[in-house]
Amino acid sequence: MGIKEVRGIFSTETRVISLISGGLDSSLATIKLVENGLITVPMFVDYGQYPREKEYTAVQKVVNSVREKNPLLEELVVLTVDLKPEAGKVGSLWGRGIMMVGLASSWAYVHGDCYNYIALGNHKGDVGPDCKPGGFDKALNQTLREATKDHIRLVLPIDDLTVEDIGKELITYSSLWDFYSCYWDPPCGFRSKNDNYRCPGCRRKAIAMKAAGYGTVPSSNCQVASYQSALAEKLEY
């Protein structure tokens, strides 16, 4: 479901939970919800990811900036999940979108019945299988609706935008350097020790920054050890 459809059935009792990671996509999705007159609850999930401190800092900047101008954005909610990874921290994560939507719907259930939508920053382009509009999102939305007795639905505020579009739109709100997109800390600069692999987050940020008119974009940093798993590099994800 796109944002226009939500606006058509919006009421003053409706609340949208917007999952925000501090990256370009989820930040713009959150901004779009508020701009379209939707009361929005920003939600950050701490699952032990390598860059959680940097992600959280970026999320706070977005939330504080938007809340100063628009009271429709409510206070930030932080959920913590302990996945107990062998390495101590988590890098790229399969099924992250499923986990976050499930957590958000559970949080909505225990905080009243006014939360009717969960928003993701999924969009067009070269992104992970659970991060772009299509069959996966339709299945996820159907599962969410069935699991909540049709009370909560999935909404994709920027499903019609490409990475380049996101960069051009976000630059009107803030410097793109303020957002954090890398899976690692320190940022890998969109290259791991496998020359054929590019960190998807850094790669997309570089594309967005170029489209937004930046003369300097993140460069590769092969000297920094990669935290990427062997399986992820094998699959280039």
pLDDT digits (tens, 9 = 90+) for 73-128: 999 999 999 998 877 888 778 888 999 999 999 999 999 888 999 999 999 886 77
Instruction: Tell me whether residue 237 is in a domain.
Output: no
Same domain as 136, residue 94: yes
Q: How many domains does the chain have?
A: 2
Amino acid at 11: S
Give the tens place of pLDDT for each residue, 4-46: 555 444 555 678 999 999 999 999 999 999 999 999 999 999 9
* Torsion angle in degrees (nearest 10) through CA of 54, 57, 58, 63: 160
CA separation, residue 4 to residues 14, 17, 104, 120 (Å): 15, 16, 22, 15
pTM summary value:
0.87
| Res. 200: pLDDT tops 90 | no
Domain span including residue 182: 164-228
Same domain as 85, residue 56: yes
Q: Which of 138, 155, 172 is the last residue in one of the domains? A: 155
What does the pLDDT read at residue 17?
Answer: 97
Burial of 118 (0-12, 13-18, 19+ CB in 10 A): buried
Average pLDDT rounded to a whole number, residues 196-220: 77
What does the pLDDT read at residue 212?
Answer: 94
Same domain as 40, residue 112: yes
Same domain as 89, residue 170: no
What does the pLDDT read at residue 133?
Answer: 75
Q: Which of 155, 188, 206 is the last residue in one of the domains? A: 155
What does the pLDDT read at residue 194?
Answer: 54
Confidence class for position 220, pLDDT limits 50, 70, 90: low
Instruction: Tell me whether residue 109 is in a domain.
Output: yes
Instruction: Tell me whether residue 233 is in a domain.
Output: no
Confidence class for position 224, pLDDT limits 50, 70, 90: very low
Instruction: Tell me whether residue 234 is in a domain.
Output: no
Same domain as 147, residue 189: no
Instruction: Tell me whether residue 96 is in a domain.
Output: yes
What does the pLDDT read at residue 180?
Answer: 93
Same domain as 143, residue 37: yes
Same domain as 224, residue 113: no
Give the tens place of pLDDT for each residue, 173-189: 999 999 998 887 777 76
| Res. 213: pLDDT tops 90 | yes
Kind and range of the H or E run holding 117: strand 115-119
| Res. 138: pLDDT tops 60 | yes
Same domain as 132, residue 32: yes
Confidence class for position 226, pLDDT limits 50, 70, 90: very low
Beta bridge partners of 115: 15
Q: Which of 117, 138, 155 is the last residue in one of the domains? A: 155
Burial of 3 (0-12, 13-18, 19+ CB in 10 A): buried
Burial of 14 (0-12, 13-18, 19+ CB in 10 A): middle
Same domain as 175, residue 149: no
